[in-house]
Amino acid sequence: MLYGFYDWLRGRLNLKLVRYLLSSGLGGRESIVLEAGSGPAYASSILGGDNRIKLSLGADIDLEALQEARRRDAGLTLVVADLMSLPFRDGSVDLCWNSSTIEHLDDPAAALKEMARITRHGGRVFVGVPNVYGPLGFQRWIERTSAGVWIGKTFSRSQLSRMMVAEGLEPRDAIFYFFRFFVGVTAEKINHIISQK
């Protein structure tokens, strides 16, 4: 019963996020979309069913999560890959995105840099993270506990936007989702040169 409710809730969350990505993350052409750090790739499956998507890819380092995605959607294109070193050419995707991923990384900016690298000029990058001003705002007081580690770092919309600007991306839109637990920013890749750190 609890798992059924969790799957229903995850489905509703992913459907809302996919609708947002389709409205703010894509141009008018058939698009190649990569969920970088996809886990079981629920949203990638939904995106793959839209006629504006030429190819929907899920990439994750967690083989077990990708196997779950494969069991659920045999037609989904999946790649075992590290978000810090994605096996794609520069400028090869129209939209590179993730939700609830970079807050778990030691260097979120490096992951964002890699996402920007593989996104075409004029393409979009979307990142959704726990919202420091939402219901998870207490996380900074528990960050070293198991619950705090599970939540990951929290960000404000402005922090996320500044990280994107540093990587040659121009924030275009933002969304609060899942009852304001998460904040996401969509940015456009505006130049070919990514900052060197």
Residue 3: what residue type?
Answer: Y
Lowest mean pLDDT among 1-10, 38-47, 103-112: 1-10
HSE-up of residue 147 (Cα within 13 Å, Cβ side): 6
Full residue range of the structural domain in which residue 147 is found: 2-189
Residue 87, pLDDT score:
98
Is residue 197 one of the residues assigned to a domain?
A: no
In-domain check, residue 30: yes
Residue 194 in any domain: the answer is no
Q: Supply the CATH number for residue 90's domain.
A: 3.40.50.150
Both tokens of 2, joined, read: 């609890």
User: Is it the case that residue 171 has pLDDT exceeding 60?
Assistant: yes
Choose between 157 and 28: higher pLDDT.
157
Q: In the chain, how many domains are there?
A: 1
**Number of residues assigned to the chain:** 197
Asked whether residue 196 is assigned to any structural domain, the reply reads no
Q: What is the pLDDT of residue 139?
A: 85
Q: Give the residue-averaged pLDDT of 41-51.
A: 93
